[in-house]
Amino acid sequence: MTQHVYEIDIRAEVEDVWRALTDPASTRQYFHATHWASPPVAGQPFTTLLPDGRVAVEGVVEEVDPPHRLVHTWHPLYDPELAAEPPSRVAWVLTAVGTGTTHLRLVHDRLDDSPRTAESVREGWVRILDSLRSLLETGAPLPAATTPG
């Protein structure tokens, strides 16, 4: 089974990390300037949007357990080759580790039939998570990298 697993510790409370994952104003800062079109709701479709309003990613929210777990399918539309592949899945798990620190575990799976997506996100998630950590720990994301689309 093809999957990518990333684990980082962030010097921030679980609630602050959750807010950064789900708040459009926050995601615009570290997630290639994209944002949720609406809050994630279990069982409902979702989209994230590029700054010009085009859909970056679409999917279905499978689980929402604030502030500890968010699971959704992942179908990138910002690239035609990735859009041609079937959706994969992303799970975000947040765990408090002591006072003021959160362990974030991201698992991107169901990638067996989506090899281009698997390759695209392999290093992409590292950059996003590093920028998220920078935003929460210093108040500023990492300098902008290449934006999808």
Tell me the CATH number of domain 4-138, given options 3.40.50.150, 3.40.50.1820, 3.30.530.20, 3.40.50.300. 3.30.530.20
Pairing of strands 88-96, 69-76: antiparallel
pLDDT in tens, 120-141: 999 999 999 999 999 999 999 9
**pLDDT above 60 for 84:** yes
Mean pLDDT calculated for residue range 16-39: 96
Domain regions of the chain by residue span:
4-138
- Using CA atoms, how far apart are residues 35 and 55, in angstroms rounded to an integer? 10
Share above pLDDT 90 across residues of the chain, in percent, rounded to a whole number: 93
> How far are the Cα atoms of 3, 14, 95, 99, 101 from residue 58, in angstroms, in the given order?
19, 25, 26, 35, 30
- Using CA atoms, how far apart are residues 113 and 90, in angstroms rounded to an integer? 15
Write down the pLDDT at residue 41.
Answer: 97
Strand partners, 96: 102
pTM score, two decimals? 0.93
Closest CA to 108 of 128, 129, 90, 126: 90
pLDDT in tens, 98-125: 889 999 999 999 999 999 999 999 999 9
Closest CA to 88 of 123, 112, 61: 112
The radius of gyration of the chain from alpha carbons, rounded to an integer in Å, stands at 14
| DSSP letter, residue 144 | P
pLDDT in tens, 63-82: 999 999 999 999 999 999 99
Write down the pLDDT at residue 148.
Answer: 53
Write down the pLDDT at residue 134.
Answer: 97
Write down the pLDDT at residue 98.
Answer: 86
| Environment class of 37 (CB within 10 Å of its CB; exposed 0-12, middle 13-18, buried 19+) | middle
